[in-house]
Structure 1
Amino acid sequence: MVNTFLAHDLLWGMTSEQLPAAAPGWVIESLNAGQPVVVRRALSAPGQVAVGVRGSLREQRYATAMSVDGIQRRVKPEDLCHVSIDRDLPALRALTQLRAMLDACGWVWGIGGSAGFELASGVEALHQRSDLDLILRTPQPLGREQAQELVKIFDTAACRVDMQLQTPRGAIALREWAGPSPRVLLKNAVEACLVLDPWNPQEQAA
């Protein structure tokens, strides 16, 4: 069951009683306020899912695990593509700029990071300098030239846009895949390793 949850999914239902005794006070406050936790790319015990708790400050991130039985609601990044909130911030303006192109790109896309958290929960997480973090589901290979074209479009947006390509073997950064290096860093629940082809787990750098 744990494998049905993907990195960047938001989950509701975790309580402070599930936290280790040494958890910081701000973590308890976040959960007591009913905020969601975000699924992490990490291994977890049976019946558990690896999650992270967000605080109000950028450095407030806490890694823990949540009981699958306690999950009350799940929101995936792709569920947020057409959610809107009435705040005038660069990340939200960038999302408005890019939405039609992303809808037409032929891939399933979604919103992660602070923007996804705020769109899903209503908790203000974005500020004037926030990046826009996007997710692209790429079960089939996305060519480097196409990646480069996406980066060019993103660089015209109202703020910095970072996109993760979610391959069947893990995630890579779009900007890295669009870059000159033949090897890119592939991250999954087990490891982070340099690969030549993120869609072919056998083709790894020596």
Structure 2
Amino acid sequence: MAVTLIKSKLNSIALKYKSCAVVVGKTGVGKSVLISGLCGSNEHFRNTVVHGDVTFCLIDSPGINTLRQTPENWNLLRNALTGTYINTIFVIIKYDSSLERMLEDFNEIRGLMGKFSTKFAVMVSHWDAAQEPNDDFRKICSSFENICSNVIFYSTDSPKNDLADLMYGCICHMSRDKLTISDDEFSTWKEQY
């Protein structure tokens, strides 16, 4: 069974409301697999994770790399980010032996939605592919040290309770905010991407 790791373990705080996070990343990084594994289903938008006495919502989003190909995905992304109050944006990056490629994938997302970067927590999927996990863990954590709140490492066979606990630890330490994207900002996103 794969180990689930986190850069900084945060103690969970029981919130008096149902917290919510958006999951973003490229197609094929495992966003939908993550959500369906934690929720038992994937409604392709809003899903509920039940973890002990805590429940939280995960909102799936279209693959960032599909935005140019499928124009309606722009509206789906905007709705995912602004449709409800959000605590965290989990940026899913697929593990790659090339740290530069991982950073390129992250920077593509940060370039698009950097306005919300204080909400970012990175999740490195496919962690079971790491050949040098101890060295890679240190390098990846160091690379993301000043650009996101935390980094979670997991694979498809990571214990779901551990993963939900680590995610909720990130969620409950971020404020709950109603994110906004003005029409002008939204047009700029589409023009620049």
| TM over 0.5, shorter chain | no
- Is the radius of gyration larger for structure 1 or structure 2? 1
Q: Which is richer in helix?
A: 2
TM-score (norm 2): 0.32
TM-score (norm 1): 0.30
